[in-house]
A and B are shown apart, each in its own frame.
Chain A
Amino acid sequence: MSGPQVLVAMSGGVDSSVAAALAVEAGWDVTGVHLKLADTPAHLQVQGKGCCTLADADDARRVAGTLGIPFYVWDMAEEFRRAVVDDFADEYAGGRTPNPCARCNERVKVVGLLARARTLGFDALATGHYARVEDGRLYRAADRAKDQSYVLYMLGPAELDHLRLPLGRMTKPEVRATAARLGLRTAAKPESFDVCFVPDGDTAGWLERRLGRRPGQVVDTDGQVLGGHQGAYRYTVGQRRGLGIATATPRYVLRVEPAAARVVVGERAELAIRAVELERASGTDGRGLRPGHARVRLRAHGQEAGCQVVPLGPEGSGEPQRGAPVNRGRTRLDLDEPVAAVAPGQAAVLYDGDLVLGGGTVAATGPAVPAPGG
């Protein structure tokens, strides 16, 4: 074969199956790889739940066989556990609300795998993400409902130059139709929505098994005790259900203070914030976030708001970020209008139209300009 040598990450789902098929149709020299990310013994896995099960590896292998491409399984369970699963628990324990998919892309699935693919002499990595890479820049997917550019914001030119996203201009129905046309066994496979290592969707229960009970108090903004809880990590900013308190008007979680084992609740209006401070901010062009106006998305499936981007200079910690793009630093976003319920730990992603400018992790929020360090 004469085309570029492309490694395709094959999860065993319909999206990455079609991505692999399109890569073959494009005439590329394609090799499939399935990442084993979980250590769960095969006989304890729940069929069709979560991802990275034995059945998923089998599906990916069968699709690779149908496409006639070499296929490998790589055990990256250790990397995944350290970079994603442990981080997920640590973030919740620290009172933050992490985005494990963004973290996984940053450390394992995209950046980590791409580095390994390049080491092995591949020209590029292809994945089944819904987003577009054009002229080395990252754009939203044509299918807005499926767009996954939000969880890829941390990519820089070093990655984007070698990343192929064959589904970027397709809609989900088109992807399924392609899978059916090619006779891929994953054509009708259901979507996976939950956090893949919490297959039953019970994040609070998963965290409790991992972190143990850490009882504390639910208080209002004056410090008055309204009730108790079994672990501050069970709460996230904006949460209304499960507070276990009786009040005349609905109360929402405003802050989570794990050190004091305290959950602070208040009125809906008190959730509104006007400023967000980001840490580990990066730009997809490799030159960092620059001052100016942009649209910001603060959760995977949330509304977007206009904002002014205010860079605050490089971070002082000097913590080396393996495989991370350059220009990581603190950045403030002054929102054009109030936004409700933004939790530290979430990803904030900046757009100019369909172009992804970059983003960062929410470090702190405030009614106006937050103090440095939150």
Chain B
Amino acid sequence: MPYLDYAASAPLRAEALAAMLPLLQRPAANPSSQHGPGRAARAAVETAREQVAALVGAAPGEVVFTSGGTEADNLAVKGAVLARPEGARQLVCSAVEHHAVLDAAAWAEADAGARVTLAPVDPAGRVDLERLAGLLEPGRTALVAVMAANNEVGTGQPVAAAAGLAHAAGAVLLCDAVQAAGLPGVDMDRDGIDLLALAAHKLGGPTGVGALVVRAGADLRPLLHGGGQERGLRSGTLPAAAIAGFGAAAAAALAEREAPGFAAALAALRARLLAGLRALEPALVVNGDPGRSSGAGGLPGLLSVRFPGRRAEDLLLLLDRHGVACSAGSACASGAVTPSHVLLAMGRGPAEARETVRFSLGHASTEADVDAAVAAVHGALEVLAPQEATT
């Protein structure tokens, strides 16, 4: 089945499965236990910690394993707010952050005395640095959240510049790199990132594990209390097998990034997909800027397109019937497609947002996948006559 939904979840890499299996099949072993099996599990966790740190230009001791990207974002936002005195709890988030950031910030505003200000983005979804700078309140801003690259449209963000502005105002910078950690990649040292959120499954690791990488000096309060694991920032028995899978996926993603031609090949697949779709629908509109025209790298395998007059829900159903997996906007709890806050922030109307489909490619994508997707879209467009826009 042609899978073009890597941004939702990437297929598990063989390396990740191989790293997990021995730990899953092994007898009980808590990485905190002072015995042989415990030490072996601990060793696997520490290897993974090194692999994850290497992926993002951090020191192993800075990696705090969590249950995933959502927990990492929550720990960063809420933990930073709670570490500050009241009156110094302003939060500045780009308007296109993931809901794990935006909703955690909204909680902090409702229940923890924070104030949240959203930094607007340009029509490509890139945060406006001048506007961002104007929103900072030196001494009062606790945290600035600017993601590495947007999960819905692929646009890369000027993270290093945002970090410079945040630091000048006495704030820490949270970078959600859940999508971008593999390609284009992030470097905490180079970019001055204080807090970095990761999720294993977007890299080809298992679901249920992620990390918040916390630079020394970034003050956080923990959200989960208990056994004091992860330097007291995240209590709970470490899932050694899942973490080993995370580490293996991170190592594989790093090898790909450093392999000559891998990123270019992925970009070429995306270009092939776009050309195929344009040939079918000349009125197609591309959302965002995953390319490198801006200098800030975006997601080379992500293609967000609008098919004017066609409801994304209908396209998805027809593509699914052809065995092609992709997604539309963001799905709510019931599974329905709702207009994306990212596209709305970029100035699109709700009707346009409802006509947007996201294709995303990754480590195992092939030309055959792309061609099958184009053929399926061809079939779907034959069925769907353009309809009047509905709001």
Contacts and interface: CB of A to CB of B under 8 A. Distances in A.
Interface of A: 31, 34, 36, 42, 54, 57, 61, 70, 72-75, 78, 116, 119-121
Given A70-B320, A78-B391, A120 B314 contact: yes
23 contacts: A31-B317, A42-B333, A42-B334, A54-B334, A57-B334, A57-B335, A61-B335, A70-B317, A70-B320, A72-B313, A73-B334, A73-B335, A73-B336, A74-B313, A75-B336, A75-B338, A116-B314, A119-B384, A119-B385, A120-B314, A120-B383, A120-B384, A121-B318
Contacts of B321: 31, 70
B273 to A, nearest CB: 23
B267 interface: no
A109 B320 CA distance: 23
B333 A75 contact: no
Interface of B: 313-314, 316-318, 320-321, 332-338, 383-385, 387, 390-391
Q: Which of A31, A42, A54, A75 has the most CB of B within 10 A?
A: A75
Q: Which of B335, B383, B390 has the most CB of A within 10 A?
A: B335
Given A72-B313, A74-B313, A78-B391, A120 B318 contact: yes
A75 B329 CA distance: 13
A73 B334 CA distance: 7
A75 B337 contact: yes
B275 to A, nearest CB: 26
Given A119-B385, A121-B383, A36 B317 contact: no
Nearest to A42: B333
Contacts of B385: 119
B120 to A, nearest CB: 26
Contacts of A34: 334-335
Contacts of B391: 78
A70 B316 CA distance: 12
B299 to A, nearest CB: 26
Contacts of B313: 72, 74-75
Contact of B317 (A54, A61, A75, A120): A120
Contacts of B387: 119
A213 to B, nearest CB: 31
Given A70-B320, A70-B321, A119 B314 contact: yes
Instruction: Give the top 7 A-B pairs by smallest Cβ distance, nearest first.
Output: A75-B336, A73-B335, A57-B334, A36-B336, A73-B336, A121-B383, A42-B333
Nearest to A72: B317
A75 B330 CA distance: 12
Contacts of A121: 318, 383
A239 to B, nearest CB: 37
Contacts of A72: 313, 316-317, 320, 335
Nearest to B313: A74
Given A61-B335, A72-B335, 10 more contacts: A36-B332, A36-B336, A70-B321, A73-B334, A73-B336, A75-B332, A75-B336, A120-B317, A120-B384, A121-B383
Contacts of A70: 317, 320-321
A176 B227 CA distance: 50
A72 B311 CA distance: 14
Contacts of A31: 317, 321
A45 to B, nearest CB: 10
Contacts of A36: 332, 334, 336
Nearest to A120: B314
B257 to A, nearest CB: 36
A75 B333 CA distance: 12
Contact of B383 (A42, A57, A74, A119): A119
Contacts of B333: 42, 54
A344 B336 CA distance: 36
B318 to A, nearest CB: 6
A119 B317 CA distance: 12
Contact of A74 (B320, B336, B384): B336
Nearest to A55: B334
Q: Which of B320, B336, B338, B385 has the most CB of A within 10 A?
A: B336
B37 to A, nearest CB: 37
Contacts of A74: 313, 336-337
A60 to B, nearest CB: 10
B95 to A, nearest CB: 21
Contacts of A73: 334-336
A248 to B, nearest CB: 54
A209 B332 CA distance: 27
A232 B317 CA distance: 46
A34 B335 CA distance: 9
A308 to B, nearest CB: 42
A57 B336 CA distance: 10
A61 B335 CA distance: 10
A36 B334 CA distance: 8
Nearest to B314: A120
Contacts of B317: 31, 70, 72, 120
A90 B336 CA distance: 28
Nearest to A61: B335
B248 to A, nearest CB: 31
B1 to A, nearest CB: 13
B320 to A, nearest CB: 6
A54 B333 CA distance: 7
Contacts of A42: 333-334
Q: Which of B317, B384, B385, B390 has the most CB of A within 10 A?
A: B317
Nearest to B350: A78
A103 to B, nearest CB: 19
A75 to B, nearest CB: 4
A41 B391 CA distance: 20
